[in-house]
Amino acid sequence: MSINSTATDSPPLVFPSGAVVVLAPDADQDDWHAIRKTGLGGSDLPAICGLNRWTSPLEIWFRKTGKDIPRRDDAVLSEAAENGHDLEPFVASRFTKKTGLPALDHPGTLRRTDLPWALVNLDRVTFENGEPGVVELKTRSSYALADWLDEIPVDVQVQMQWQMAVTGWSFGYSAALIGGQRTIVHRLDRDEQMIEHLLAIAGEFWGWVQDGTQPPVDGSHATGQLLDRLHANPDTVSVIADADTVEPLLRQRATAKEQIAAGEIALLDAENQLKAIAGDAVEVHIRGEKAYSWPRYSRQGHIDFAELAEDWPDIDLESYRGEPTTYRTLRIHLENL
């Protein structure tokens, strides 16, 4: 399946997977929300895999089955999402400036004909050596810098591999605007093994949607927050539960609290000893590999001293300038020994 590209100097888009455009990019929001309920998109997959701290598999299941979910009342998250949408054109332009590759408008909502529940909406499309690829645009706070320095975070990798699964394309790029000041670009190749796993996970999940089987409650914060919202207004004083179900869970909770306390002590002990070994070095290598690093970062206050000097020429700027806040963060590179 192919459609005409929005750029006159780019080849037409071809989808080796047999995907088709089922909704135009400028479609009405109601139509967009309606079609999202007919399948699983790229943003659904990290949540289904337990990689989204804000959305759980249970919440995705509620949405896809048309059940009412109380809205998350979080003004900060809402504004962050709105800002991310508004900044997309800017991040796309930074991607092009850094790579020299185009960032073309997406073709609309795509659906695989052989797997009708496999949907995707791309942020942008690029061409590299005449071949099309996906472009995923992100905006993140400065606290996420370490997560993006070396590679694409796992949840975004899952999202991009799903995009490649639906389009049939062989590569993609991510461009993340960090703290509004730094754009980090990574390239990602198609991973057939991961795509096979994602299709299996998504297929099982969509089966639950179709037959009304609710996913099991998991241990994620997102599931806990969903349950808090669903049951925010209790109207019953008590309920009689099965003791054989409740008692093991109470024991599990008590044991977990003990293990957490012991684990925190063991974690701090190991990290402190690793820091002592590193000393003034940034990286520690063993057997020819980088085992861990302890880089130094700095944060400076956001004061416009030039404007301050213009408005208040007699002020002592040095008393306001201060020293930047510096910190070191331990990053493990050999996790599985």
The rounded mean pLDDT for the chain is 87
- Residue 116's pLDDT is 96
User: What's the full length of the chain, in residues?
Assistant: 337
Give residue limits of the domains in the chain. Answer: 2-211, 283-332
- Residue 37's pLDDT is 93
- Residue 317's pLDDT is 56
CA angle 282, 283, 287 (to 5 degrees): 165
- Residue 313's pLDDT is 59
Residues of the chain below pLDDT 50: 1-8, 301-302, 308
- Joined together, the tokens standing for residue 243 give 């003791």
The fold of 2-211 is: Lambda Exonuclease; Chain A (3.90.320)
d(C-alpha 121, C-alpha 39), whole Å: 12
In contact, 223 and 58? CB cutoff 8 Å: yes
d(C-alpha 120, C-alpha 122), whole Å: 6
This prediction has a pTM of 0.72
